[in-house]
Amino acid sequence: MRSDRNARAPLALKIAAAAGLAFLHLPILLIFVYAFTTEDKSYQWPPPGFTIKWLGVTWNRPDVWEALWLSVRVAAIATLIAMVLGTLCAAAVSRWKFFGRETISLLVILPIALPGIITGIALRSAFNLADIPFSFWTIVLGHATFCIVVVYNNAVARFRRTSGSLIEASMDLGADGFQTFRYVILPNIGTALLAGGMLAFALSFDEVIVTTFTAGQQATLPIWMLEELVRPRQRPVTNVVAMVVVLVTFLPILAAYYLTRDGDQIAGHGK
Amino acid sequence: MSAPQAAILPGRGGAAGTVADVFWRNPKVLLALLLIPPLLWLGIIYLGSLFALLAQSFFSIDEFSGMVKYELTLKTYGELLNPANLDIIARTVLMAAAVTVAAAVVAFPVAYYAARYARGRWKALFYLGIMLPLWSSYLVKVYAWKLILAKEGILNWIFEKLHLTWLLEAYLSAPLIGGNSLSVSYTGTFLVFLYVWLPFMILPVQAALERVPGNLVEASADLGATPAQTFRTVLLPLAMPGVVAGSIFTFSLTLGDYIIPQIVGSSRLFIGQAVYAHQGTAGNIPLAAAFTVVPVVIMGFYLWGAKRLGAFNAL
């Protein structure tokens, strides 16, 4: 039996770990306070008073809604593409050993391993060279490219845990390839795919670096925020938008966590 | 009771059945069908763009017309070696190194506690506590620090309440790390980088520490080592692959970022900002492309070194 089950942590370690976690979370909590401040000209702390007026103001802003709607559409389509491509790739890599397998894993990870600015500028100059005008679809193209890896990682991990004998048993019992896929493989990898899709959605919804290069005149929500960050004009609205973005991205991450928590803790690894 | 069903169903026949049979007999056909769509996508869209970008770094810009001259030359790479551009590269690499070291120091206790002491609910809480900041919006995190570091913001307020404003001012008047205020100093940039990339360091370090058996630490103590000695000679060497794996993220992400130094920091450029400026208003795509090669080359060497240290097994 291992003897470290009941070991107590030294006090210094506890303090350092708690401080580290506090460092990670306090700044985000601060956003929630600022969303309700009455101050609208500066970032004054402590807030002179609290109000929920800005929620209503933000609600009635067409530019915020437009940016949000664009972000949601981009993220939805990019996620869909990434789920198809990522699953195909994961199925191939985990089921067979073939020449160049390692290279394919590397190729999938590359768009996220290289700094985003490189992906961004490479796509932009390629669009320019090919005379492709910037549009909704150029944004989707960029997002889908770096979302593949998230779905791929989740799917590969699940494929590895799914025993190959299940598939053989299904075949032995007379199911053909499609039936096996429908009744055996899909139920087994379903939650992993869902988790991967949610993380891909969160990743795309939040992406700004590649988007600045692949978007034309259109502003996704992060682009809208970036403009406000560089030249603050409407601080209260930005505060509220920031809070909403935090809440909106938390939900898919929590969901992805609960979908994959049994077994390998994979969701989110290798963002 | 209904009649017993056959345990083995007959083949479905039809088109789907025929296709399934083909796949069964020739797994390579299926493999190819699975691989072709993602490979086409990544190969054409992604690698194609990357190589197009790389190719452009071998062109140069005509100084008089401002147009790109399409003939192969190394002139653009020569420009990269200007003192001003070398400055940008050195500044970025130094910042990346500082952020990486600091992230390792801050991440280690969190990772160690999560790996060795946290159990059950606490373990899940720690996991989410690292995951949520990792995945929450990058821009919101940067924005939060803009709020914190603002002159009228919470950090200055805390220093004032503690009657330590003089300390902050003394710090800000220091050369290099100081500045007019925290939000326009290297310290500010450093803090935001550290904050945004910290979870990327915690996760691999924790993964590495999970694999260290607790009784190794106890054995070390039983043999008379002080906690400091145990840390230095047992824990750290075993956690090193995780630290190196985490440093790949913190280093690479800092090298390529252009938004954080633009929003919080002095006006002196980092590599990412230089790339952005050259491709944007200046229209100097060749120089921008050459600049992007710098982090790629640096990361190439970094990854090569990391691989030799066995960091990839900890990812």
Q: What is the pLDDT of residue A7?
A: 65
Q: How far is CA A203 from the centre of its chain?
A: 2
- pLDDT at B167 > cutoff 90: no
- Rounded Cα distance, B163 and A53, in Å: 35
Between CA B221 and CA B313 the distance in angstroms is 28
pLDDT at res. A2: 46
Q: How many domains does chain A have?
A: 1
Within an 8 Å CB–CB cutoff, is residue A13 touching chain B?
Answer: yes
pLDDT tens across the length of chain A (271 residues) = 444 455 677 888 889 999 999 999 999 999 888 888 888 777 887 888 888 888 888 888 888 899 999 999 999 999 999 999 999 998 888 877 778 777 887 888 888 778 888 888 899 888 888 888 888 999 999 999 989 988 998 888 888 877 778 888 888 887 887 888 888 888 888 888 888 888 898 889 888 889 988 888 888 999 998 988 888 888 888 889 999 888 887 887 788 888 777 654 444 444 4
Question: Could you identify the residue written with the tokens 């379903």?
Answer: A190
Contact at CB, B128 and A257, closer than 8 angstroms: yes
Between the two ends of chain B, the Cα-to-Cα distance in Å is 55
Q: Do A206 and B256 make contact, defined as CB atoms within 8 angstroms?
A: no
What residues in A contact B217, CB-CB < 8 Å? 4
What per-residue confidence (pLDDT) applies to B90? 93
Domain ranges, ordered by start, for chain B: 14-46, 82-314
* Residue A164, burial from CB neighbour count under 10 angstroms (0-12, 13-18, 19+): exposed
Mean pLDDT of B256-277: 88
A-chain residues within 8 Å CB-CB of B122? none
**Most confidently modeled range among A19-23, B10-14, B70-74:** A19-23
- Among positive and negative, which fits the CA dihedral B8, B13, B17, B21? positive
Does the beta-carbon distance from A4 to B215 stay under 8 Å? yes
Q: Do A28 and B140 touch (CB under 8 A)?
A: yes
CB contact under 8 A, A3 and B214: yes
Of B50, B136, B295, the CB nearest to A28: B136
Q: What pLDDT does A58 receive?
A: 85
Interface test with B, best of A13, A87, A118, A125 (most B CBs within 10 A): A118
Rounded Cα gap, residues A242 and A248, in angstroms: 10
Q: Write out chain B residues lying below 8 Å of A171, CB-based.
A: 24
- Inside any domain, residue A18: no
Which chain B residue has its CA at the smallest distance from A12's CA? Answer: B109
Interval B187-236: pLDDT, tens: 999 999 999 999 989 988 988 888 888 888 889 889 988 888 988 888 88
If we measure between CA atoms, which residue out of A207, A243, A232 comes closest to residue A222?
A207
Does the structure show a pLDDT above 80 at B312? no
Across A74-88, A162-176, B58-72, B292-306, the highest mean pLDDT is recorded for A74-88
* Other Cβ atoms closer than 10 A to B11: 12
Q: Alpha-carbon distance B190 to B257, whole Å?
A: 12
A107 with B47: Cβ contact below 8 A: yes
Q: Is residue A239 one of the residues assigned to a domain?
A: yes
Q: Is residue A210 part of a domain?
A: yes
Under the banding of pLDDT at 50, 70 and 90, the label for residue B135 is confident
Structural domain contains residue A157: yes
Amino acid at B255: L
Question: Which residues on chain B are in Cβ contact (under 8 Å) with A98?
Answer: 31
The more confident residue out of B8 and B164 is B164
Owning domain of residue A188: 62-260
Which ipTM did the prediction report? 0.81
Contact A85 B16 (CB under 8 A): no
Mean pLDDT over each residue of chain B, to the nearest integer? 85
Q: How far apart are CA A148 and CA A86, in angstroms?
A: 5
The CATH code of the domain at B82-314 is 1.10.3720.10
Q: Which residue of B has its CA nearest to A91?
A: B34
φ/ψ region of B179 (left if φ > 0, alpha if ψ in -120 to 50, else beta) reads left
A16 CB near a chain B CB, below 8 Å? yes
Contact B256 A107 (CB under 8 A): no
* Dihedral sign computed on CA atoms, order B165, B171, B177, B180: positive
pLDDT at A69: 93
Q: How far apart are CA B299 and CA B63, in angstroms?
A: 31
CATH of the domain at A161: 1.10.3720.10
Query: Given this model, what pLDDT does residue B3 score?
Result: 55
- Choose the closest CB to B152 out of A44, A229, A238: A44
- Domain assignment present for A31: no
Confidence at residue A137, expressed as pLDDT on a 0 to 100 scale: 92
Question: What is the token pair recorded at B87?
Answer: 């400055």
Residue B143 with chain A: CB contacts under 8 Å: 31, 225, 229, 238, 242
What is the amino acid identity at position A40? D
A92 chain-B contacts, CB cut-off 8 A: 31, 34-35
Contact list in B for residue A114 (CB cut-off 8 A) is: 252, 256, 295-296, 299
On whether the CB atoms of residues A82 and B9 are closer than 8 A, the answer is: no
A residues 22-51 near B, CB within 8 Å?
Answer: 23-25, 27-28, 30-31, 34, 42-46
Question: What per-residue confidence (pLDDT) applies to A178?
Answer: 82
Four-residue CA torsion sign, B264, A247, B245, A9: positive
Residue A55 belongs to a domain = no
| pLDDT of A268 | 46
Q: Does A244 touch chain B (CB under 8 A)?
A: no
Dist CA B150 CA B162 (whole Å):
18
Structure tokens at B81: 């070696």
Alpha-carbon gap, residue B251 to A203, rounded angstroms: 20
- Would you state the pLDDT for residue A181? 83
